[in-house]
Amino acid sequence: MQKYTLKINGESREVEADPRMPLLWVLRDRLGMTGSKFGCGQGLCGACTVHVDGRATRACVLPVSAAQGRDVRTIEGLSADGDHPVQQAWIAAQVPQCGYCQSGMIMAAVALLERNPAPSDADIDEAMTNICRCGTYDRVRQAVHDAARRQASA
């Protein structure tokens, strides 16, 4: 076990963990931040997506030791009251069905829009590699376009 000081959602947080422990488990089990979900544990499904230094990152395969000194943003740090343009677009398009994968989807969409504020359908399809068992991909694409419009008019 080692002590780590992590910058999460703009705040320094101290945790003690095995250096190989995935960031996802540190967030959920050590810090009580349960917005990021466990899906596949192999970095494929994206339910655990957070931002590390502004990039969408699968927290289930990133060891806590690799997060030291980096800027981590979780769904909890996106907006205190759900008023982020992507969250609002998600609601307007009624994207979630079961909702399990949605925090990861939203974080992937935010990362996409931060680097490409006007993505095409092809850009969205390339960037949004998260898996949704409910199959709401058309609504995801619609919501990303809506969020882009909301951000452009803000």
Task: Tell me the per-residue pLDDT of 34-49, one tens digit each, with 9 for 90 and over.
Answer: 999 999 999 999 999 9
Look at residue 58 and tell me whether its pLDDT is greater than 90: yes
144's CB contacts (< 8 A; 6+ apart) are 86, 89, 109, 112, 113, 119, 124, 128
Distances (CA, A) of 28 to 67, 130, 132: 15, 20, 21
Q: How many CB atoms lie within 10 A of CB 109?
A: 30
Amino acid code (one letter) for 130: N
Quick one: pLDDT band at residue 67, thresholds 50, 70, 90?
A: very high
Q: How many CB atoms lie within 10 A of CB 74?
A: 24
Mean pLDDT of 51-72: 97
The reported pLDDT for the residue numbered 97 is 86
Superfamily of domain 2-77: Beta-grasp domain (3.10.20.30)
The CATH code belonging to domain 85-153 is: 1.10.150.120
- C-beta separation of 64 from 19 below 8 A: yes
Instruction: Say whether pTM exceeds 0.85.
Output: yes
The domain segmentation of the chain, as residue ranges, is 2-77, 85-153
Between CA 66 and CA 34 the distance in angstroms is 20
User: Residues of the chain with pLDDT > 70: what percent?
Assistant: 100
Helices and strands (H, E) in the chain, number of each type: 6, 5
The reported pLDDT for the residue numbered 19 is 96
Helices 85-92, 137-153: axis angle to 10 degrees equals 130
Between CA 99 and CA 79 the distance in angstroms is 18
For residue 11, which phi and psi values (nearest 5 degrees)?
-115, 145
